Structure 1
Amino acid sequence: MANPSNTKDAWRMWSGVVAWAGFPALHGLWMLADWSLRDPALPMSGGIPNSVTSAFQGASLIGFAILIFASLGRVRLLPLRLLITLVAVSIGAGGMILGWLSYVIHNGIDTL
């Protein structure tokens, strides 16, 4: 990565890093918290309620989109910036869906 020349460039760079690194880490911590609230012998019981988890997932995707959009501050064409953000959020949402499906299937949680 290039050395940021001013605070705006540094903020843009870190918002991208936080989005791409923080998004999976945050979901991993959420899964860990959900699993710690469940009885491993009966994984269907306990855990964080599905409605709360769904709200968390939606809010994290919105936060991810905002951080990605902010990290693209050097892209001056708004339609291009929105397109890149849409592609990034699609990749993030796909990864999130696959991660959560893997978590649910591998731990025997039948919430689908």
Structure 2
Amino acid sequence: MSLTRRLCRLEDIRDGEARGFPPGPGGFTGLVAVRRGDAVHVYVNSCPHIGIPLESLPDRFLDGPRRHLVCTAHGARFRVEDGFCVAGPCAGDSLEAVEVRIEDGAVLVPEDAGL
């Protein structure tokens, strides 16, 4: 799968923070990106429990200590590094990971990611 969609610039996501991205044209699900230093982890913004977006307010994806992504609907917690659910009704499931590459400061994902 080619990484042809430019999601944003690396500096558009503050280190230790997360940012949501709406679905592309005709898409149903957006993406969430979490930055850890020079690494970015990207997931489809859909809780594996019932398929709803993780955040209830824009860009509010992380818990207080910024250690886990959280589904605000029911409190499920997911590891940032691999999207694995460590607590909540979908414990043992995972968020859908999206292939990501940083190239010349741009965060690139597949064209069809989150559609």
Question: Could you say whether these structures have the same fold, taking a TM-score greater than 0.5 normalized by the shorter chain as the test?
Answer: no
Q: Which has the higher strand share?
A: 2
TM category, shorter = under 0.3
User: With structure 2 as the length reference, what TM-score do the two structures score?
Assistant: 0.22
Larger radius of gyration: 1
Q: Which has the higher helix share?
A: 1
